[in-house]
Structure 1
């Protein structure tokens, strides 16, 4: 039985997991899952995409409240500015966030993400408590604010409440400005039980984010992973790892091992895990981590903004590693911009061009898009086929789709692969996006989300209030 016309979309060109195909008819069911992909088809009355149809991009790493902080730290406050001095400023901003401001900030951020080609987000959420560090009467208050924001914007969400207990390796007590983050392991597992029905009702995914090895002692990490697995054996697990050289040095001083090396030897890392950043690894760590099936969550614009370093993507791919991209601190909210920065970082490091083109996809934007979508679906828990199943525009996957504007000046008159390349490397990135669907529901039309104006105004007001509070 064919799907109704309102659940069908025709595209002259579409990027399928196997590559580009012509005259593709996509159909989905009432739950927003793709039921058929038919190349060499006719529109037969279905809606027609304005340009090449792409799979929606998962955003693997987001701290929503930090969007209101973007651009406010671009001055030198210390003789040698670094991630750690930036973090001190960020903590001051986090201390002022309220449930109302978080919801307003996140709603606008998620609207921005949709307009920029992201169709889902992994929200790495660690501001849990009131401004005085004490839990809210409803311990899930801030998590629920994020779920409401995702619902309002219409973006898919993987909610990752963060376990945060210590200020450094060796179980150093938390700092006073970390009080809003801290939870016991039992309390975290109770929170997950509380959030499970609310997340399911939204069609979201619930996982866990042990913040980092410096913030979660070994016994707590083991107990949290075990508890999460008892609740849901498929739930995703994300962790910051080896982002900074100081973190690596501190981990060696504490354990005699580097962070990734320690994690792989002491935790059941597998395809459920996302290793966020993983910037500073040895060649052996690259090989060992890739073999686990874990996804590397790369955040190129944030890593550049914070001076983290450059992930060795060719070495990761050499070992069959999977990866996706995230906007992290949201200095930039743009899926194509993350791909551009990732490729350009490799070019600067290696003094080569088109580094991330693959053996099967010589065109670099096509290769990166397919790889990032595949890894992103796995790490966000949004791929029912797991590692084995194709992600993106494929039967059984969610109908998350992006249509480019074939009449955009940077794209007009080009073949589809060149349109994608020009979108990533030759346009203003978001300007070439015409339409976007999440689970088959049109969320962006002619480049704009329906909530664009109202969400932007609420964001500006929330940011002004937050800044004025300090």
Structure 2
């Protein structure tokens, strides 16, 4: 990790793992990690004083960066019942038009938006590997290297997950033409991971891998990769996102997707089950007890009409969860957490569904859960304002009347349920400020490159 000058921040209010504290001094070492936290201090002349409450930045546990460029392009009604499967055709069109320069430009724009939305790290579930006709680039890792470059340019923390994808449906069905840019066999996929090991180390990124879905890989392919992959990082998989996926899995195996996954694969704390929307009560408890994280993307799940995750029952069973922005129709911590809670309210026709108990703050409950689950799914150590953690921090706008008049958990509830991304003022990643006063220092350059891509996709 790069070395930076040691520094000390001072905040009137800060969210620590033990709760809100006042007059907090946070010392950050040259390695970008928190060296000391001291509540009830008096600021010194050398301290950098925060202009609003100080909180930990969140890890975004699920991203397909290139899809940010198509946000808003699939909102025209088709001739039949629109669904994930009709949306996917627009996604394939986008894939057929973008090249490595475009993907890097899209990712850089997205990562700036994530930072401004309160995320300090992104877990990139990256399956766009080849050219439009399926031909690998001269460097088979070209597209992944562009993701690493975008993360480096913007300063966001990155956990990179190259994705194995080989089939169109359960049982090893032949892929369709739109899937050609995604495809690998196990040997080529393992070679890709080998190629990325030194690159991710050089860029200070974490490396794991993903299986796209039970539709996209046979059990034999999954086991071959699990046995041979030379990394100990996180393992992610899409599972049980759509009702049709459940029906197809039952027809193929006689079991539901989450049931099959838990029966057949060594699911533990390294794993993240993305979406897991359609589960029985038994599957919900089993996933909760497995130690895996449920990776929830409420804005995308709503946009695609996927359904509502059983979060009330899952948390009651001790389950771990985190949030991601997936297709990036939203890019902020507040919007994803708000929709997570609101989905439960709409289904149950009751309020305050995910609060830890009577008198508990909904905002605090879901923020804490997503902070811990996101760190686990990203394969990083303790996340938060704690000694030894990376200094990934958010400063909310203390001049905003909603924030200025709030204290303690009211701050989170105001941010998440009354304000949103407008409340995020400054964001630090690994001890370096990346967003100051709501702006990134490379924003104009990044916007110009992104604008050229959007013009190409019209």
Shift of residue 177, structure 1, vs aligned partner:
1.1
Tell me the distance in 1 between the aligned counterparts of 2:104 and 2:195: 19
What is the match of residue 422 of structure 1? 414
Shift of residue 117, structure 1, vs aligned partner:
0.5
**For 1:26-425, what aligned pairs fall within 5 Å after superposition?**
26-44=26-44, 45-228=46-229, 231-233=230-232, 235-359=233-357, 362-383=360-381, 390-425=382-417
Tell me the distance in 1 between the aligned counterparts of 2:353 and 2:422: 25
Instruction: Note if 1:439 corresponds to 2:430.
Output: yes
Shift of residue 38, structure 1, vs aligned partner:
1.4
What is the match of residue 453 of structure 1? 444
> Secondary structure at 2:404's aligned position in 1?
coil
Per-residue CA deviation, residues 344-374 of structure 1 (Å, 9 max, x unaligned), is 1111111121111114981111121111110
> Secondary structure at 2:197's aligned position in 1?
helix
Tell me the distance in 2 between the aligned counterparts of 1:361 and 1:397: 30
Shift of residue 461, structure 1, vs aligned partner:
0.7
> Secondary structure at 1:448's aligned position in 2?
coil
Shift of residue 42, structure 1, vs aligned partner:
2.4
- Which of 31-40 and 55-64 deviates more? 31-40
Shift of residue 170, structure 1, vs aligned partner:
1.1
Tell me the distance in 1 between the aligned counterparts of 2:331 and 2:4: 34
Tell me the distance in 1 between the aligned counterparts of 2:214 and 2:308: 21
What is the match of residue 463 of structure 1? 454
Do 1:6 and 1:46's aligned partners in 2 also have CA atoms closer than 8 Å?
no
Shift of residue 43, structure 1, vs aligned partner:
2.3
Do 2:4 and 2:30's aligned partners in 1 also have CA atoms closer than 8 Å?
no
Tell me the distance in 2 between the aligned counterparts of 1:39 and 1:29: 18
Shift of residue 4, structure 1, vs aligned partner:
9.7
Tell me the distance in 1 between the aligned counterparts of 2:136 and 2:394: 40
> Secondary structure at 1:211's aligned position in 2?
strand
Tell me the distance in 1 between the aligned counterparts of 2:443 and 2:228: 40
Do 1:70 and 1:330's aligned partners in 2 also have CA atoms closer than 8 Å?
yes
Shift of residue 70, structure 1, vs aligned partner:
0.0
> Secondary structure at 1:449's aligned position in 2?
coil
The alpha-carbon distance between structure 1 residues 185 and 435, as it changes in their structure 2 partners (threshold 3 A), is same
Tell me the distance in 2 between the aligned counterparts of 1:158 and 1:274: 13
Shift of residue 419, structure 1, vs aligned partner:
2.4
Shift of residue 410, structure 1, vs aligned partner:
2.6
What is the match of residue 386 of structure 1? none
Tell me the distance in 2 between the aligned counterparts of 1:317 and 1:361: 17
Tell me the distance in 2 between the aligned counterparts of 1:107 and 1:149: 5
> Secondary structure at 1:180's aligned position in 2?
helix
Do 2:69 and 2:454's aligned partners in 1 also have CA atoms closer than 8 Å?
yes
Tell me the distance in 2 between the aligned counterparts of 1:236 and 1:304: 26
Q: TM-score, normalised by structure 2?
A: 0.97
Per-residue CA deviation, residues 45-73 of structure 1 (Å, 9 max, x unaligned), is 21111111111011011000000000011
What is the match of residue 24 of structure 2? 24
Unaligned runs of 5+ in 1: 384-389
Per-residue CA deviation, residues 157-194 of structure 1 (Å, 9 max, x unaligned), is 01111100000001100111111000011111111111
Tell me the distance in 1 between the aligned counterparts of 2:389 and 2:96: 39
Tell me the distance in 2 between the aligned counterparts of 1:432 and 1:418: 13
Tell me the distance in 2 between the aligned counterparts of 1:382 and 1:213: 26
Tell me the distance in 2 between the aligned counterparts of 1:354 and 1:396: 34
